[in-house]
Amino acid sequence: MISDIFCKIVQKELPAEIVYEDEEFLVIKDIHPQAPVHLLVVPKKHFDQIHAASHEDLDLLGKMVLVAGKAAKLAGTEEKGYRLIINQGQDGGQLVPHLHLHLLGGKALGPKIIR
Ligand code: AMP
């Protein structure tokens, strides 16, 4: 069975600062925040590669964006804005091999790509 750090947080085997939870998702505070608001939208179901997704995953992927919108409101970033990011694979800088959406905000975030 696959068990990465986010699977362990979902199973409550590891602690995390949970700001939202429903049947399918957790939203947690990033342990190393890169902005005043840095949340991670984590599907409870283990899922890794976006490029391996199929039509069967549409529901999960769509809901992940809806949950990000809820999280943006909970964090109070809906008015001034925020950025959603998915890192994928080695060149994408992905550290945890479990799909998650970063929600960053709370300040003007600057250039979209750091060179
Ligand atoms: P990524 O590079 O997209 O895989 O990002 C993984 C993110 O998870 C990083 O921003 C880490 O700071 C964050 N992270 C790692 N471990 C934890 C944890 N135990 N609780 C919350 N965030 C974590």
How many Å lie between the centroid of ligand 1 and the Cα of residue 58?
24
Q: For the chain, give the secondary structure using H, E and C.
A: CCCCHHHHHHCCCCCCCEEEECCCEEEEECCCCCCCEEEEEEECCCCCCHHHCCHHHHHHHHHHHHHHHHHHHHCCCCCCCEEEECCCCCCCCCCCCCCCEEEEECCCCCCCCCC
Instruction: Report the topology of domain 13-101.
Output: HIT family, subunit A (3.30.428)
pTM: 0.96
Instruction: Burial-class residue 27 by CB neighbours within 10 Å (0-12, 13-18, 19+).
Output: buried
Q: Is the CB–ligand 1 distance for residue 101 below 6 Å?
A: no
Pocket residue to mutate for ligand 1, from 8, 18, 27, 96, most atoms within 8 A of Cβ: 96
Please state the atom number of ligand 1 nearest to the C-alpha of residue 32: 12
Catalytic residue check, 102: no
The 10s digit of each residue's pLDDT in 16-54 is 999 999 999 999 999 999 999 999 999 999 988 999 999
Q: What is the pLDDT of residue 115?
A: 64
Query: pLDDT confidence of 1, banded at 50, 70, 90?
Result: low
CA–CA gap between residue 73 and residue 111 (Å, rounded): 23
Q: What is the pLDDT of residue 108?
A: 96
Please state the atom number of ligand 1 nearest to the C-alpha of residue 87: 3
How many Å lie between the centroid of ligand 1 and the Cα of residue 34?
11
